[in-house]
């Protein structure tokens, strides 16, 4: 093992840069995907077929296809269309497709949105009838009941499942290295491997970084669950 090469300042800086990029990808896709998932989850549980059916189709297609394929379709497919390239210098939002980082964020955001929609829709359906009846007894309208009672309750109960989704998206950011000009953690390891032919040292280091980030996220979500899901814990008699 030649970990001395990994510990050289320029290579540590490369891994640090890759970690920052992976973290930026994760935060950006979670914000965009989460913002889209809230209204889509309400559409998913709607009694109106013209609202729920398109969302079902969206989640079915996205969850049924590999994330890497979705990334390739956006970067090598949509972003390379002549119609978009003719406009990506001066017409928004096509200007964003010039950025490989944007294409990666878009693919990750769409993917995590589909999974989050199904998790949140399931939690909405499982909302206790007692909570809804209590809101109605207080005179709340249907909209007030959804936004003040149903949705906050569903968000709290989705937290354990959503923590797994966040961790999976962290690991999925390793696919960003398949897009040129995006140097994430895996991309840094691949660059060191191609230069020094040190596969074990390069990728073991990348794995340790992902492991550290994963344990950090797990700890943060446990704190969040302890705060917002304490009422679900069994009480000592």
3-class state of residue 90 by DSSP: coil
Give the list of residues 6+ apart from residue 164 with CB closer than 8 angstroms, or none. Answer: none
Q: Give dist(CA 8, CA 192) in Å, integer.
A: 11
* pLDDT 10s digits, 90-109: 877 788 888 889 999 999 99
User: Taking Cα atoms as reference points, which of 168, 187, 193 lies closest to residue 21?
Assistant: 187
Least confident of 39-53, 82-96, 150-164: 82-96
Q: Give dist(CA 80, CA 223) in Å, integer.
A: 44
Q: Report pTM.
A: 0.90
* pLDDT 10s digits, 144-193: 888 888 888 888 889 999 999 999 999 999 999 888 788 899 999 999 98
Q: Are 204 and 153 in contact (CB under 8 A)?
A: no
Q: Give dist(CA 85, CA 147) in Å, integer.
A: 41
Q: Give dist(CA 63, CA 112) in Å, integer.
A: 9
Percent of the chain with pLDDT over 90: 54
At residue 87 the predicted structure's pLDDT band, cuts being 50, 70 and 90, is confident
User: Which tokens in the block code for residue 93?
Assistant: 């939002």
DSSP string, 166-200: HHHHHHHGGGGGGSTT---HHHHHHHHHHHH--HH
* pLDDT 10s digits, 95-144: 888 888 999 999 999 999 999 999 999 999 988 888 888 888 888 888 88
Q: What is the mean pLDDT of the chain?
A: 89
Which pLDDT value is given to residue 181? 80
User: Taking Cα atoms as reference points, which of 201, 214, 207 lies closest to residue 11?
Assistant: 201
Fold of 3-231: MetI-like fold (1.10.3720)
User: Which secondary-structure segment (H or E) carries 216?
Assistant: helix 199-228
Q: Are 135 and 148 in contact (CB under 8 A)?
A: yes
């Amino acid at each position: 093992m030649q970990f001395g090469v990994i510990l050289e300042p320029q290579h540590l800086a490369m891994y640090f840069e890759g970690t920052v990029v992976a973290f930026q990808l994760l935060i950006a896709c979670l914000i965009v995907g989460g913002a889209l998932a809230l209204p889509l989850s309400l559409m998913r549980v709607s009694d109106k077929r013209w609202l729920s059916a398109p969302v079902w189709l969206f989640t079915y297609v996205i969850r049924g296809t590999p994330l890497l394929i979705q990334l390739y379709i956006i970067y090598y497919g949509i972003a390379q269309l002549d119609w978009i390239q003719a406009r990506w210098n001066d017409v928004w939002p096509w200007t964003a497709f010039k950025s490989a980082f944007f294409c990666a964020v878009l693919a990750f955001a769409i993917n995590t949105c589909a999974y989050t929609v199904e998790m949140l829709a399931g939690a909405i359906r499982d909302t206790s009838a007692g909570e809804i009846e209590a809101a109605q007894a207080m005179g709340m309208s249907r909209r007030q009941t959804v936004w003040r009672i149903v949705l906050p309750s569903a968000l709290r109960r989705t937290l354990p499942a959503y923590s797994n989704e966040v961790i999976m998206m962290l690991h999925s950011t390793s696919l960003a290295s398949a897009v040129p000009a995006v140097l994430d953690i895996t991309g840094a390891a691949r660059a060191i491997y191609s230069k020094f032919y040190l596969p074990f040292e390069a990728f073991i280091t990348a794995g340790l970084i992902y492991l550290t980030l994963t344990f950090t996220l797990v700890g943060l979500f446990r704190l969040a669950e302890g705060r917002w899901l304490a009422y679900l814990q069994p009480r000592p008699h």
